[in-house]
Amino acid sequence: MFMPDGQTVLITGAGQGLGAAIARHLHGLGDRLILMDVNPARLDETLADCPGAVGAVVDLSDAADTARAIARTVTGPVDTLIHNAAILRVEPVEQVSLATFQATMNVGIQAAFQLTQAVWPAMKARGGTLIFVSSRSGIEGFVDETAYCAAKHALEGFSKCLAMEGAGHGIVSVTITPGMFMHTPMSETTYGPDARAKWVDPIRLAPAFARLSASRPAHLSGQRLNAWDLSQPETSL
C-alpha cells in the first residue's frame, strides 16, 4: 500500500499530542517529514525521534511567520499536508479577547490556507493528499468554544471546496476527527472524568493518516472521516 520510496509529508502541531504521534509513525514507515510547531523544545523532542526530518519553529497565528517557515521548508513537492495545529481556549464569549479569537482563527484556517497554497502547484502536477484535523466542534456548537468552533467549521468548508477544485488533478482533501477520546495536552484541559476513563494514546490513531496519505482515496475526497475507524486493520478505505 505504501509507496516504496516514501512520501514527503508536512505536519503542523508536530511537537506533541496527535501531531507528534503521526510524525513518529510516518517516520517509521520511511516518509520524509517537514515538521512545524510553535514550541521549540517540544519540536526538538519529535525531531530527535525522526532523524532526517526538517523542522521549523513557527507561530502559525502570524501570517508573516508562517510564510517564512514555508519558504524555509517547502523547497520541493509535498505529497501530503496534515494540518493538525489548533488553539482551544474554553471561555464564555464575553470573555474572549479579540486577540484570542484572531489567533484561534489564524491557526485554524488562515494557516491552512497558506499551507495549501504553498503545496498546491506541485499537487496539481502530480496529485496529493490534504488532511485537515477537525473535531465535533466542526459540525456542532459547544458552550464556551465560540472561537474554536468557528475555526473548525471554517476548516470543514475549506476542505470541501478544495476537494472540488482538486478533483481533476488527483488531489484528495478530507477532514478527519479522532473518533475516540484522545489523551493529549489539549484534552487534559478539556476532558472530564468520564472522557478521561476512555481516552487512548494518539499513536493508536496515527495509522489512519498513513493510510490516507499512501492510498489517496479519491472516493473519500470532500468527506469527514473518523481516525479511530480508519486505524483498525479490518476497516477498508
State the alpha helices, DSSP H only, in the chain.
17-28, 40-49, 63-73, 98-105, 111-126, 146-166, 185-190, 193-196, 206-215, 227-230
Show Cβ contacts of residue 129 under 8 Å, excluding neighbours closer than 6 positions: 79, 80, 81, 171, 172, 173, 174, 212, 213, 216
CA–CA separation, 44 and 179 (whole Å): 28
CA–CA separation, 187 and 206 (whole Å): 17
Q: What residue has cell string 476527527?
A: 177
- Quick check: 2 and 210 in contact, CB under 8 A? yes
Q: How far is CA 33 from CA 114, 207, 227, in A?
A: 18, 16, 20
- Quick check: 19 and 84 in contact, CB under 8 A? yes
Altogether, the residues listed in the chain come to a count of 237
C-alpha cell at 81: 499536508
Q: Distance from first CA to last CA of the chain, Å, rounded? A: 11
Catalytic residues: 148
